[in-house]
Structure 1
Amino acid sequence: MLDTLPRAVPELALQAIRKLIDEGGYQPGDALPSQRDLAERLGVSRASLREALSSLSALGLVSVQPGKGVFVLSPTPSGFSWPYAEQVSAADTFQLRYALEGFAAGQAALALTADHIDRLQANVEAMRQELRNGRFEQAARLDFEFHQLLLQACGNQAMLQVITTSQEIFLESQKLPFIRPERAMETWQEHRKILKALERRSQAGAQRAMQEHIRNAASRTGVVFAV
């Protein structure tokens, strides 16, 4: 049963429903099984199922119509586009970021200068303003800049080189979560949490906050990975 992992249940249910649609031959306009049947089939609670369906609805994959049912809108999420699929998957990119940037954030907590802190604070405030004004492209670039600042501060040139060399791919992974405007401010909230851990010089706290941020960003995109 999927509910054996409570924190990940909605994300796992989301992936299971996407697989059901892909492998079940559902077409736009087709009705999925009832929510009761879906919950029983997936072995999840109704609450977890509703959260998964809400995410799929935001991604443009299904339409949840009270009293009528759940209907397929598109074979794939309309807002989700990963242009680098022939080179590397979105899931692999998020996993690499989880490993590299979690470590980098922890190291940066020990090495940040006052100038680094000032630049990070300015970045976080600028992102808040861009998101409030609905400028998601600019917010994504500030997101990338925030992560670059931490990589530079941590002092590991090999990690910085890996991400800089594939800058377009990493930037695309930071744009993806913004396909869900109603959750866009979560990125800013998570950056603020990372920043607070950095200001405390908490190595473990910064690493945890960064890893949580990247997992959450992936799940907002519809990508779930085990760690």
Structure 2
Amino acid sequence: MAKQAATHQISRVSRPRLYEQLVEQIMDFIEAAQLGPGDTLPAERDLAERLGVSRATLAQALVALEVLGVIDVQHGTGAVLVYRPNVPSVIKGLREHRSRLPEIVEARSTLEVKLAELAAARRTGQDMKAIDQALDAMAEEVATGDRGARGDELFHQAVTAAAHSAVLAQLMTFIAGMVLETRLESLGQPGRPEQSLASHRKIADAIRSQDSAAAAAAMLEHIDLVSDVALLKHG
């Protein structure tokens, strides 16, 4: 019985660290392969086989490394190494990023819901045109298999501009770098780019109809969607 209890205890302690272990494995591979800045990592399928993990699990770890600036994931090219830090610094950055995510989501749900509400009340025809152009840009990216990060960014910038609130716009600029973390983390989830685009269209429709309550509700629903990320589920 004591042996079973010990085994169960070890399992509970190790589970939250699985994500970190995979990141460590990737960093060890980079070191062993002597990859340097500008070098491309193997294709996800090959790398997943070498590390003995699923492609979905590997993809989430790569997103975390992209958020930390270690790699740059380029559509059609793959993951390109930006710099090669030591493993302890990467793990420290990963833990800080993970602990920061809930607060970033909290800030977004406060600011962006109000911005959507104001945008519905104050938007001009030109504002609506910018929102539609952002939707088109993201749709084009997603259609080619890209995550649509640029179009996503343009959409939220367009909604912010349509609110015509200088102070709220300044606050959004202040947290822009942190929002980028949640954007990359969210759009790295399987099927998320398509879901996010559909969510954006719902927000845009409410703003177009000048329905402030619907726009606020749609934005809150969107923030809830993009807050559902794998990193927060690993322990």
| TM-score of the aligned structures, taking structure 1 as reference length | 0.62
Alignment of 1:193-212 (within 5 A): 193-212=202-221
Is the 1:80–1:176 Cα contact (8 Å) retained in structure 2? Answer: yes
Matched, 1:219 2:209: no
TM-score in terms of structure 2 length? 0.60
1:110-144 residue CA offsets vs partner (Å, 9 max, x unmatched): 000001111111111221110111222xx212212
1:89 paired with 2:100, answer yes
Contact residue 160 and residue 169 of structure 2 kept, 8 A:
yes
Q: What do residues 88-129 of structure 1 show as CA deviations (whole Å, max 9, x unaligned)?
A: 701110111011100110011000000111111111122111
Equivalent position to 1:128, from 139, 142, 151? 139
Q: Which structure shows the bigger proportion of residues in helix conformation?
A: 2
When structure 1 is superposed on structure 2, of 94-103 and 164-173 the one drifting more is 164-173
Question: In the aligned structure 1, how far is the partner of 2:232 from the partner of 2:212?
Answer: 27
2:61 maps to which residue?
78
* Deviating 4+ runs (over 6 angstroms): none
Equivalent-residue separation in structure 1 for 2:197 and 2:112 (angstroms): 17
Seen in structure 2, the aligned counterparts of structure 1 residues 222 and 25 have a Cα distance that, compared at 3 Å, is: closer
How many aligned positions are there?
160
C-alpha distance 197-178 of structure 1, shift in aligned 2 (>3 A) = same
Is the Cα contact below 8 Å between 2:203 and 2:215 reproduced in 1? yes
In 1, Cα distance between the equivalents of 2:223 and 2:96? 22
Give the counterpart of 1:153 among 146, 162, 175.
162
Change (3 A) 1:108 1:168: same
Q: Render the CA deviation track for 1:184-204: whole Å, top value 9, x for unaligned.
A: 200100000001111110000
Give the number of the structure whose alpha-carbon radius of gyration is greater. Answer: 2
TM superposition shift of 1:172: 2.2
Whether 1:24 aligns to 2:13 is: yes
User: Is the contact between residue 113 and residue 217 of structure 2 (CA under 8 Å) also seen in structure 1?
Assistant: yes
Unaligned runs of 5+ in 1: 1-19, 29-56, 62-76
Aligned pairs for 1:169-184 (under 5 A) are: 169-184=178-193
- How well do the aligned residues superpose, as a CA RMSD in angstroms? 2.8
Amino acid aligned to 2:132: Q
